[in-house]
Amino acid sequence: MDKKKIVGHSEERWDAIAKVKGQANYTGDFSFKHLLHAKILRSTIAHGYVKSYDIAEAAQMPGVIKIFLPEDLPHHLYSTAGHPWNLDPAKRDIEDRTMLTRHVHVYGDDIALVVARTELQAKKAMLKIKVEYDEYPVYLTPEAAMAPDAMRIHPERENAFASSEVGFGDVKQSLKDADYVIARHLTTPVQQHLHLENQIAVAYQSSDQRWTCISSTQIPHICRRIVAQANGIDWSQVRVKKPFIGGGFGNKQEIIIEPLVVALSRALGGRPVQIALTREETIAYTRTRHAISYDMKIGVNQDGHLTAIDCDVLSNQGGYASHGHAVGGKGGTFINALYRADSLRFSAKTVYTNIATAGAMRGYGMPQVIFALESIIDDAADKIGMDPIKFRQINHQPDGFYNQLGQTKQRDFLIEQCLVKGRAAFHWDEKLAASQAYKTGVKRRGVGIAAFSFGTAVWPFGLETSSARLFALPDGTFKLQVGATEIGQGADTALAQMAAETLGVPFKSVIRDVMTDTDLDPYDTGAYASRQTYIGGVAVKKAAEEMKQKILKRAETEFKVQLEHMDIVDGNIVYRADGDLVTTVKDMAMQSYYDWDTAGSMETYSSINVHHNSYGSGCSLAEVEVDIETGQVKLLSLMNVHDSGKIINPLLASGQVDGGMAMSAAYGLNEELLYNKAGKPLNNNMLDYKLPTAMDLPDLEGVFVESQDPLGPYGNKALGENPDVSPAPAIRNAVKNAIGVGIDKIPLTPELVYNQYQAAQKAAKGDL
Amino acid sequence: MKQTIAFTLNGEAVSCDVDVRQSLIEVLRDEFEMTGVKEGCSVGECGACTVIIDGQTMESCLYMAVWANGKNITTIEGVAAEDGHLDNVQQAFVDAGAVQCGYCTPGMVLSSEQLLADNPNPTRDEIRRGLSGNMCRCTGYQKIVDAVELAAKNGGVKTDNRNKIPFHVAN
């Protein structure tokens, strides 16, 4: 008989009503008696050493409880990167920081803490602290930091602290063999996450004398470990609670302020202490997307065959290693996932500098490398005069390709379908033809495309484990507990849909909880790498299957119907053959609590370790209008097409696509965190850092090439980050189509576009 | 220095002593526990703290608390009906999928309420302009614009749901 499908249906996200009513409590919404407030004193230089502090006047200011210098807090080295702990010390994140430091690596480094009764008192006291520095040279770029005479930013290791090279074949020879070689130096900017809720955390000593930290974190279980390591205490002594969280996008996959609030509470007798970063602090002094440059060469033959892809990468890490080379070193695998060439070389270095520490941000290196790749691929299509979609169609990897660099067979890899569907749905040919009427005059129009590939979760480069717990409540509903973390993306709703689908009960019968609590919720590494529905989904499915068996077993005992003849449909236990009712889940649940002879509540727990990956793909198509007198680029239309397997919740999935497209469009057009020569951030506020408003974006269109991934627990694979990858290069390529100039740098600000266009005009006239 | 202010908050007459340096958002959150008023930048850039004051949207972080004296103020807690039922705009935000992390949502809902009160049948461009003071990083604004369109189609703002005493704020 037909089962009502819950997976694949746009169930209403369980937290939507609370959020529109203002009922949803975020970290800053909890009240504490006698809460203390801490402010971080930040360095006003980007590189140097604090010779001395004078805190005499500050310590006398009203409301001040205590001022902490680096010597006053634990000084265990740790990394803020939110990766699973690695049992192999050689593979751990570089531990290059302490809670506070005299050694300044970035402008705004954490050099002291002031704790006071109110935030205002803490701020006012902070202004009275006098600091003397020894100043060192400031390096803003990898090139500057790698100069032979540059001093080491961290004395323990070279500024170029990590490198890697992957590939196959003889790139030099393949380039020689090509009809044409195209070379580009492509650069990407520092982007910031701009989640609407700033970083905030509170810590206090709980009644069991352990330390509770309430935090806006994407990774509660990892947070517990890093807080404990930084404080030098047993991991079990820390309990992390994550309430509603106002966006993360990777920035809250870093444990930045949590170690500090726990250390302060420990130093102050367990009193509750809060750090709430300001917007200016969040933009400038938390984490950013790595600015990465690519020296890329490709060889192409007149018939469109790609002979070689050769790429030298420099990744600007900023002052601390954080996620480090995992971001800049990413790319070779996913270039190989997308296009076949006779040879490939992807050689990357990650380099300390004195700008803000770069870390995880939605896409994790993919927006950078795909910007570079899809720019030069598009230029190659132009070079041989081939339609850019056709050029990608003849060069993309086939479905079923085994990617040796990622040790993954690309099953159900549907880039071909995405390109075909994109061409039709976007009305590419019509828009391209229409743009011909706008190739002269002030307003020029063009269309552009970019494709991408994307992994799901991190295997084989990292651990993938998750767990889930289900228990039946007396009325036949189920409480689902997971460590997978809801951060606004809708993971909780998707996981609840999965549980309901497998159990055979209505969606509303599965209850989730806003709070992820490391004392209560089973282990999962958290929200990153578009992993939770894929990895967490396996755990949820297993727990739900076992629960279903427990329920049917109980029915079998009670009603003497063999288990294999029964199924659960919409909360009813029925005969498989004809759907006749045997009993209900509710009756069995009630019995499990209260039956005199058979009571024993029903709980299941699953813990899983996944050793596979499913690659997604897709493309973006953009239509722009460029004003050649001002350089202003107007985005007329933008479409993303996604191969993400089965779509669990179409409405929520579409929302992820919208948000990713907006973030990437702004990456291509507007957003960049800027520094002066001394390394001071110049635009760390929401006026000067150009986050798009509702007026800056067109209607966004997302399309799915839906299929059933053979490895995903419900046929699903990555989606959360994918939409944030290809819009920027599609826009770059559309601008090229409009004005005839391929610009190798983003964002495409009016100034940049104007100057590049003018330079191209002059070069064309031969008067350079 | 302290000053006593009296104003109408979500339909209820209230008063309190405020430090003259305090912004309205501090008083709404700390004195009246209207924690639906969210703080995103503290300097009037992001719109998360939007409230409605005498029929105009206002970023409560920029508004001195003392200025609230004698005013009629609606926060997100005052939008739903007294029995907790969602109003048209709130329901449309839920139905259109306009809610993700939810941090911009209270301000976004209130700006949409005022937009529809002022212009019951806005075009999409008018909606975009009307919401341009409210930043969102999750949605690309797509489904938020859809939600306002949907709310307009479903009858817009029912003024009898405005300025009521808030239902009890749970959790």
10-residue mean pLDDT profile of chain A (768 residues): values are: 81 97 97 96 98 98 98 97 95 97 98 97 98 98 98 98 98 98 98 98 98 98 98 98 98 98 98 98 98 98 98 98 95 97 98 98 98 98 98 98 97 98 98 97 98 97 97 98 96 98 98 95 97 98 98 98 98 98 98 97 98 98 98 98 98 98 98 98 97 98 97 98 98 98 98 98 81
Give residue-wise pLDDT tens across range A250-295: 999 999 999 999 999 999 999 999 999 999 999 999 999 999 999 9
Domain assignment present for B132: yes
> DSSP label at A529?
T
- Residues B73, B95, single domain; the answer is no
Do B40 and B100 lie in a common domain? no
Given a contact cutoff of 8 angstroms between Cβ atoms, the answer to whether A677 and A380 are in contact is no
Output the CA–CA distances (angstroms, integers) from residue A503 to A120, A469, A543, A577, A649, in the order listed. 52, 13, 9, 18, 17
Shortest distance between the Cα of A636 and any Cα of chain B, in A, equals 13
Q: Residues 268-287, chain A: which have Cβ within 8 Å of B?
A: 278-279
Boundaries of domain holding B37: 2-78
Are B65 and B14 in a shared domain? Answer: yes
Q: Do A691 and B75 touch (CB under 8 A)?
A: no
| DSSP codes joined into one string, A54-114 | E-HHHHTSTTEEEEE-GGGS----B--B-PPP-SSGGGSPP--B-SS-SEE-STT-EEEEE
Query: Is the predicted ipTM greater than 0.95, yes or no?
Result: yes
Same domain, B68 and B10: yes
Distance from CA of A730 to the nearest CA of B (A): 17
Residues 39-78 of B with CB under 8 A from A: 39-43, 45-46, 48, 75-77
Cβ atoms within 10 Å, residue A550? 18
A120, B30 in Cβ contact below 8 A?
no
Helices A428-435 + A727-739 axis angle, to 10 = 30
CB–CB of A397/A339 below 8 Å? yes
- If asked whether residues B64 and B109 sit together in one domain, one would say no
Residue with tokens 């192999």: A88
Handedness of CA B156, B161, B166, B171 (dihedral sign): negative
**Distance between CA atoms of A245 and A326, rounded to whole angstroms?**
26
B141 and B60 Cβ atoms separated by less than 8 Å: no
Residue B65 shares a structural domain with residue B24:
yes
Contact B137 A249 (CB under 8 A): yes
Do B73 and B51 lie in one domain? The reply is: yes
Cβ-count burial A299-332 (b if 16+ within 10 Å, e if not): bbeeebbbbbbbbbbbbbbbbbbbbbbbbbbbbb
User: What pLDDT, on the 0 to 100 scale, is given for residue B164?
Assistant: 47
Q: Please, where in chain A does CATH 3.30.365.10 lie?
A: 16-23+465-609, 363-456+612-765
Residue A354 CB partners (closer than 8 Å, separation 6+): A46, A47, A105, A106, A107, A138, A139, A140, A145, A153, A318, A319, A679
CA neighbor of A326 nearest in space, from A161, A490, A174, A487: A161
Task: Look at B75 and A490 and tell me if their CB atoms are within 8 Å.
Answer: no
DSSP conformation class of A532: I
- Cβ(A115)–Cβ(A365) under 8 Å? no
A130-135 sheet: strands from edge to edge = A103-104, A48-54, A130-135
- Alpha helices by DSSP H, listed for A560-649, are 585-594
Compute the average pLDDT of residues B54-71: 97
What pLDDT is stored for residue A2 in this prediction? 54
Task: Write the CATH number for B107.
Answer: 1.10.150.120
Length of chain A (residues): 768
Task: Choose, out of A12, A14, A21, A486, the residue to mutate when testing the contact with B (most B CBs < 10 Å).
Answer: A21
- B162: in domain: no
Does residue B109 sit in helix, strand or coil?
Answer: helix
How are strands ordered across the β-sheet holding A343-352?
A160-168, A343-352, A306-318, A291-300, A180-187
Cβ–Cβ below 8 Å for B97 and A29: no
Q: Which CATH entry fits the domain spanning A363-456+612-765: 3.30.300.30, 3.30.365.10, 3.30.300.130, 3.90.660.10? A: 3.30.365.10
Residue range(s) of every CATH 3.90.1170.50 domain in chain A: 32-136+199-276
The domain boundary, picked from B59, B78, B97, lies at B78
Last residue of a domain, one of B13, B47, B78: B78
CA-based end-to-end distance of chain B: 34
**Which A residues 669-728 touch B at CB under 8 Å?**
685-687, 691-695, 697, 699-700
> What top-level class would CATH report for the domain A32-136+199-276?
alpha beta
Position A767 scores a pLDDT of 60
Q: Are A703 and A640 within 8 A, CB to CB?
A: yes
Question: What is the reported pLDDT for A4?
Answer: 67
Is B22 found in the same domain as B59? Answer: yes
Do B120 and B67 have their domain in common?
no
Q: Say whether A432 sits in a helix, a strand or coil.
A: helix
Measured in angstroms, the CA of A561 and the nearest CA of chain B are apart by 42
Give domain status of residue B98, yes or no. Answer: yes
Token match 């509660």: residue? Answer: A220
Distance of CA A583 to the CA centre of its chain: 45
Q: Is residue B96 part of a domain?
A: yes
In a domain, B171, yes or no: no
Write down the pLDDT at residue A372. 98
Final residue of a domain: which of B23, B56, B78? B78
Distances (CA, A) of B119 to A31, A101, B151: 38, 55, 12
d(Cα B52, Cα B113) in Å, to the nearest integer? 9
Residue B72 sits in the same domain as residue B93: no
Residues of B in contact with A23 (CB under 8 A): 36, 169-171
Close Cβ partners of A327 (under 8 Å, ≥ 6 residues apart): A290, A292, A315, A350, A358, A359, A360, A364, A365
Half-sphere exposure of A751 (CA within 13 A, CB side): 2
Interfacial A residues in 654-673 facing B (CB < 8 Å): 654-655, 658-663
CATH classification at residue B47:
3.10.20.30
**B170 assigned to some structural domain:** no
The verdict on B10 and B48 lying in the same domain is yes
Domain count, chain B: 2
CA distance B50 to B43: 12
Is B94 touching A (CB cutoff 8 A)?
yes
Q: Would you state the structure tokens that stand for residue A174, as one six-digit string?
A: 């393949």
Chain B residue with minimal CA distance to A493? Answer: B100
Decide if B83 is inside a domain: no
H or E stretch at A656: helix A650-669
Region A16-23+465-609: CATH code: 3.30.365.10
B166: in domain: no
Q: Read off the pLDDT of each residue in B108-131 and give the average, rounded to a whole number.
A: 97
The answer on B98 and B32 residing in a single domain is no
